[in-house]
Structure 1
Amino acid sequence: MRKKLYYMGSGFFFILGIVLSNTYRPYIYENHIFDFHLADTIGNLVAVPSLSLLLLAMRKYESLSKAILYSIFVFTLYEIIPFGTFDFYDLIATYISGLLTYLIFLLFKRVNKR
Structure 2
Amino acid sequence: MKDQLKPKNSSLYFAFSVLIISIGFILTMFYRPYVYKNKINDFGFADTIGSLVSVVGFCFFIWSFKAYSNKEKNRQIILATIIYAFVWELFGYLNIYGTFDFKDIIAGVISGIITFILKELIDSKNKI
Give yes or no for TM over 0.5: yes
Q: Distance in 2 between matches of 1:80 and 1:19?
A: 26
Match of 2:57 in 1: 50
- Which of residues 52, 74, 85 in structure 2 aligns to 1:65? 74
TM-score, structure 1 as length reference: 0.84
- Conserved 8 A contact 1:56-1:62: no
CA distance in structure 1 between the aligned counterparts of 2:124 and 2:69, rounded to whole angstroms = 18
Aligned to 2:5: none
1:52 maps to a residue whose letter is C
Instruction: Name the CA distance, whole Å, in 2 between partners of 1:112 and 1:60.
Output: 14
Measured after TM superposition, the shift of residue 111 of structure 1 is 4.8
**Match of residue 28 from structure 1:** 35
Q: What residue number does 1:92 align with?
A: 106
Cα distance in 2, alignment partners of residues 98 and 46 from structure 1: 9
* Higher radius of gyration, 1 or 2: 2
CA contact (8 A) 1:55 1:67 kept: no
RMSD: 2.0
Post-superposition shift, 1:62?
Answer: 3.3
Q: Show the counterpart of 1:74.
A: 83
CA distance in 1, matches of 2:118, 2:67: 21
Aligned partner letter, 1:59: K
TM-score w.r.t. the length of structure 2 is: 0.76
- Alpha carbons 2:56, 2:114 under 8 Å: kept: no
- Any gaps of 5 or more consecutive residues in structure 1? none
Alpha-carbon offset, residue 53 of structure 1: 0.5
Identity of aligned residues (%): 35
